Amino acid sequence: MGIDINSIHNERQFKALTGTSRQEFQQLLPVFTKSYHTLRQEVYEKEKATRHRQPGGGQKGKLKTMELKLFFMLYYWKVYPTYDVLGFQFGLDRSKACTNVQALWPVLQRTLDTLEVLPSRAFSSVDELRAAFGEVQELLIDATERDHQRPQDDHAQREKYSGKKNAIRSKIP
């Protein structure tokens, strides 16, 4: 099982799965490919002394083409499925789905940064935030707090503390 990009003939469906039109996807692809190869070369140069294999050695992944790698990342960020679902959709184990997201996210980041379309994520002042949103007067932020593993380190616990104590968890019989 796996997604076949060429079987998606409906433009509306393609956009629903990736957040881009096919034309935008085709414009992203060469920059994504270049970013991918540049980052791989940088990692190779950094780890050259400790490598056991030549570049290109080892097991080949299931995301064989650059087109599929880009589609995988855009699908992940648009749909935001769990790694189990993502792995099922692309014929991967959930751990490999996670590994691929972690490996390909810097490539997509560099691609969007190169094209100067990467949205700002951090603002140092309120004025900088207002400038980023232009004439937008009201800003609504939709967020969901999720439980996470409690850190063992005391300092890390204090940083992660949300102010909620003894959250009641529903138990399903």
pLDDT in tens, the chain (173 residues): 577 888 888 999 999 999 999 999 999 999 999 999 999 888 888 887 777 777 677 778 889 999 999 999 999 999 999 999 999 999 999 999 999 999 999 999 999 999 988 877 788 888 888 888 888 888 887 777 777 777 888 888 777 776 666 555 554 55
Spatial separation of the C-alpha atoms in residues 90 and 100, rounded to whole Å: 11
pLDDT in tens, 78-91: 999 999 999 999 99
Give 7's DSSP letter. G
Distance CA(171)–CA(46), nearest Å, equals: 49
Question: What 8-state DSSP symbol labels residue 119?
Answer: P
- Residue type for position 115: L
**Computed over its alpha carbons, how large is the radius of gyration of the chain?**
20
pLDDT value at residue 169: 54
